[in-house]
């Protein structure tokens, strides 16, 4: 078809986008461009070629798309940000990083000459104002900072370490709070260090001097600078193991007066960071990557644990006293941070008496925090100040139950019953904290009382993609406790979510084409192809549904035979036929972060599911 009306042409193309037939999209857009040589028709064709290649088409599509874009952008109108991103994506997909870098350099030089475009783009606040303003999407320019980031990333791909070092350093100097710039800078520094020679050593000295200057300028309020010093020391130990104990390998700007190695310096930085930021909710999570390195070095950890014990006593005394509410709240946060760090670093042998004492202490502090359970209007209601203390108590008691399971099963079960009471208290006092619900679901599964788990899963009020990413919290418990109808409903929810996702992905891809957001069209289509259509959870839900349907809905031989014939014939929504390679390529979309944990990875509790074993179990259910 070659309609002369541009509105009909647009509607025809977008209907093909929604259908997901990338080859017809490409062919139709090229016919439109031949009849109406408008720029966006050519770019539609090029983007359709990229999507076609993404879906398994030949590599030659990318070179054809490259020529199509070059042809479209030869007119006098400057390229928009999305048009540049489309060019870059096509070049990088072909491994043409040098050509992509040249493209970035050309547009970087041109960005300063487009004040009119920037002024026009400033009028646009959202999609409605874009259409109301009459400003075409071509006026949306790529920002200089985005081009600079792209330039640095391409220099890394080309292994031009010196150029990447300068790019990341300039960006970090301009925006010192942007953590990714500092990490890119350190990556380049240690690439030079690993290459050996005087340049690597001089780059390391420069990085140390620069970091020390940032720390001194930031004082005790700059989290980024303090974390950067720890990141540098950690990378130094990983790259130059001798510096762990030998101070001569440490850059002069980071050496101490005592001649201690880099690990001792790192422990000192951690201690200072806790002193400065222990009242911040993010303190433990900031420190976790660096505590990981210290945990196995007991000679360094011992004095740090002593320091943490002192801080715990001071913050506990302040919190349990008669101080004003704000001071008590700050002291409570300090105490929580210290307890989290102590649990992470405590690698000693498990002692039941000590575990009971810790649990009682944590519970006492949690109960004392209940009067701070204020619900300010418009404030953060889902997490209350002392919730983490009760969660730490729960984890400690779970460790105790695990320790007693082999020697005294009755005592281990009694601990689980006590945990049920504590988690019920947590859900009642803090109904918006989902951690209590997730922990309660795990406990209900362990006790074989998963009707409660189903109830709590429904109370999580999960939406859309979470039926896929959180299905692991529900499906195993339903199967283990023979809740077949609930498991069947879960399978239906997962499959229904994926059907809705497919419709929405095609709709938003069409919208991205229409608005000229070519990179978003590629991103949405790629995410749907790789993560949603290729979901391991979806394949498992289809397999489980077939088995459950036989268990619950077909009781005669004739009915079961007919169902299996329809299933293998591809006539049912749960029908699927996957090869071994296709099963191995399925994406596991589980979200494990919903379970709170302050344990070192080497000491994860057995109740936390192992990712690989869970994948193996899902694949087994698909293949059976």
The string of pLDDT tens digits covering residues 376-386 is 444 445 678 89
- Percentage of the chain beyond pLDDT 90 is 58
pLDDT at 184 over 80: yes
Q: Determine the pLDDT at residue 72.
A: 87
Q: Whose CA is closest to 252, among 204, 214, 217?
A: 204
- Distance of alpha carbon 225 from alpha carbon 67, whole angstroms: 46
Rounded to the nearest integer, the mean pLDDT of the chain is 87
Q: Determine the pLDDT at residue 1.
A: 47
pLDDT at 409 over 70: yes
Q: Which residue has the higher pLDDT, 122 or 535?
A: 535
**Which phi and psi (to 5°) does residue 587 adopt?**
-90, 130
> What confidence tier does 503 reach under pLDDT thresholds 50, 70, 90?
very high
Least confident segment among 142-146, 150-154, 198-202, 586-590: 142-146
**Which phi and psi (to 5°) does residue 622 adopt?**
-70, -40
Contact 370/390 with Cβ under 8 angstroms?
A: no
Least confident segment among 257-266, 399-408, 425-434, 607-616: 607-616
Radius of gyration of the CA atoms of the chain, in A: 29
Q: Which residue has the higher pLDDT, 580 or 610?
A: 580
Beta bridge partners of 587: 535
pLDDT at 432 over 60: yes
Contact 535/586 with Cβ under 8 angstroms?
A: yes
Contact 494/471 with Cβ under 8 angstroms?
A: yes
Q: Which residue has the higher pLDDT, 143 or 3?
A: 143
- Distance of alpha carbon 17 from alpha carbon 29, whole angstroms: 11
Q: Which residue has the higher pLDDT, 115 or 258?
A: 258
Contact 164/154 with Cβ under 8 angstroms?
A: no
Give the mean pLDDT of 225-234.
Answer: 95
Q: Determine the pLDDT at residue 185.
A: 97
> What confidence tier does 39 reach under pLDDT thresholds 50, 70, 90?
confident
pLDDT at 144 over 70: yes
Q: Characterise 95 by phi-psi region: left (phi > 0), alpha (psi -120 to 50), beta (else).
A: left
- Distance of alpha carbon 230 from alpha carbon 272, whole angstroms: 11
- Distance of alpha carbon 624 from alpha carbon 615, whole angstroms: 14
Identify the H or E element spanning 596: none
> What confidence tier does 608 reach under pLDDT thresholds 50, 70, 90?
very low
Contact 230/266 with Cβ under 8 angstroms?
A: yes
Identify the H or E element spanning 385: none
pLDDT at 615 over 50: yes
Q: Which residue has the higher pLDDT, 526 or 127?
A: 526
Q: What is the CATH number of domain 6-113+142-149?
A: 1.25.40.10
pLDDT at 289 over 70: yes
DSSP state of 570: T
Q: Determine the pLDDT at residue 139.
A: 57
Contact 260/267 with Cβ under 8 angstroms?
A: no
If you count DSSP H runs as helices and E runs as strands, how many of each does the chain have, helices first? Answer: 30, 0
Angle between the 434-447 and 409-429 helix axes, to the nearest 10 degrees? Answer: 150
Q: Determine the pLDDT at residue 135.
A: 36
Q: Characterise 599 by phi-psi region: left (phi > 0), alpha (psi -120 to 50), beta (else).
A: beta
pTM of the model: 0.86
- Distance of alpha carbon 35 from alpha carbon 167, whole angstroms: 45
pLDDT at 137 over 70: no
Contact 569/519 with Cβ under 8 angstroms?
A: no
């Amino acid at each position: 078809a070659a309609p002369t009306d541009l509105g009909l042409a647009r509607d025809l193309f977008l209907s093909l986008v929604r259908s997901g037939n990338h080859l017809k999209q490409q062919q139709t857009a090229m016919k439109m461009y031949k009849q109406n040589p408008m720029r966006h028709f050519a770019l539609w064709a090029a983007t359709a070629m990229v999507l076609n290649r993404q879906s398994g088409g030949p590599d030659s599509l990318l070179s054809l798309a490259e020529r199509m874009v070059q042809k479209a952008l030869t007119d006098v109108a400057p390229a928009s940000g999305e048009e540049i991103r489309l060019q870059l994506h096509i070049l990088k997909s072909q491994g043409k990083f040098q050509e992509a870098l040249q493209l970035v350099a050309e547009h970087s030089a041109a960005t300063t000459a487009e004040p009119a475009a920037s002024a026009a783009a400033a009028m646009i606040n959202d999609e409605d104002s874009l259409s109301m303003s009459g400003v075409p999407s071509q006026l949306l320019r790529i920002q200089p900072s985005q081009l600079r980031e792209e330039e640095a990333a391409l220099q890394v791909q080309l292994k031009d370490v010196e150029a990447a070092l300068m790019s990341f350093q300039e960006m970090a100097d301009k925006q010192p709070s942007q953590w990714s710039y500092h990490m890119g800078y350190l990556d380049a520094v240690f690439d030079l260090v690993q290459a050996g020679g005087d340049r690597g050593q001089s780059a390391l000295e420069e990085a140390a001097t620069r970091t020390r200057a940032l720390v001194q300028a930031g004082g005790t309020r700059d989290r980024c600078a303090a974390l950067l010093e720890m990141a540098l020391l950690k990378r130094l130990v990983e790259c130059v193991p001798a510096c762990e104990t030998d101070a001569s390998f440490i850059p002069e700007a980071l050496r101490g007066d005592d001649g201690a190695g880099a690990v001792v310096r790192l422990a000192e930085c951690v201690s200072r960071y806790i002193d400065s930021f222990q009242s911040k909710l993010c303190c433990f999570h900031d420190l976790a990557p660096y505590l990981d390195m210290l945990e196995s070095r007991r000679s360094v950890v011992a004095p740090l644990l002593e320091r943490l014990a002192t801080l715990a006593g001071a913050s506990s005394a302040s919190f349990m006293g008669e101080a004003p509410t704000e001071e008590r709240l700050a002291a409570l946060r300090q105490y929580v941070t210290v307890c989290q760090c102590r649990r992470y670093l405590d690698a000693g042998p498990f002692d039941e008496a000590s575990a009971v004492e810790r649990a009682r202490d944590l519970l006492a502090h949690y109960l004392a925090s209940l009067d701070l359970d204020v619900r300010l209007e418009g404030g953060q209601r889902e997490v209350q100040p002392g919730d983490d203390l009760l969660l730490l108590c729960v984890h400690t008691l779970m460790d105790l139950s695990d320790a007693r399971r082999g020697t005294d099963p009755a005592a281990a079960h009694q601990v689980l019953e006590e945990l049920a009471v504590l988690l019920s208290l947590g859900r009642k006092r803090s109904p918006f904290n989902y951690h209590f619900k997730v922990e309660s679901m795990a406990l209900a599964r362990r006790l074989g009382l998963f009707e409660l788990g189903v109830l709590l899963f429904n109370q999580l009020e999960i939406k859309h993609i979470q039926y896929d990413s959180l299905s692991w919290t529900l499906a195993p418990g339903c199967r283990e406790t023979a809740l077949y109808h609930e498991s069947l409903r879960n399978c239906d929810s997962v499959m229904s979510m994926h059907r809705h996702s497919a419709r929405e992905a095609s709709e938003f891809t069409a919208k991205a084409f229409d608005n000229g957001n070519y990179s978003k069209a590629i991103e949405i289509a790629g995410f749907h192809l790789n993560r949603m259509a290729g979901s391991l959870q979806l394949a498992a839900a289809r397999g489980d549904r077939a088995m459950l349907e036989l268990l619950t809905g077909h009781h005669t031989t004739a009915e079961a035979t007919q169902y299996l014939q329809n299933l293998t014939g591809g006539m049912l929504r749960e029908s699927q036929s996957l090869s071994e390679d296709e099963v191995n390529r399925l994406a596991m979309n589980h979200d494990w972060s919903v379970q709170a944990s302050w344990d070192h990875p080497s000491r994860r509790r057995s109740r936390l599911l192992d990712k690989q074993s869970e994948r193996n179990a899902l694949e087994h259910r698909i293949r059976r």
